[in-house]
Structure 1
Amino acid sequence: LLGNASIIIPAPYALFVFMLGALLDLADLPLLAFVSGLGAAIGELTGYVLGAAWRKALDEEKKRKLEKARKLLEKPAFPLIILMAATPLPDDVISLPLGLMRYPLWKAFPAFLIGKVALCLLLAYSGKLAFTTILVAFEGGGIWAMVGTAVAMVVIAVLLVLMDWDIMLEVIEQRGWRGLLSPSFMKRILLSTGRKFRRKEKEGKKEGEEAQETAEAGEERKESEEERPEEGQ
Structure 2
Amino acid sequence: MRIGVVTFPGTLDDRDALRAVRLAGGEGVPLWHADDDLLDVDAVVLPGGFSYGDYLRAGAISRFAPMMDRVADAARGGMPVLGICNGFQILCESHLLPGSMIKNAHRTFICRDQPLRVESTRTAWTTDFEQGQVIRVPLKNQDGQFVADRRTLDELEGEGRVVFRYVGGATHGPAGFEDNPNGSWNDIAGITNSYGNVVGLMPHPEHAVEPGFGPDEPGKATRTGTDGLGVFTSVLRSLVA
Query: Which structure dedicates a bigger proportion of its chain to strand?
Result: 2
Which structure's CA Rg is the greater one? 1
TM bucket (normalised to shorter chain) is: under 0.3
Normalising by structure 1, report the TM-score.
0.25
Normalising by structure 2, report the TM-score.
0.25
Query: Which structure dedicates a bigger proportion of its chain to helix?
Result: 1
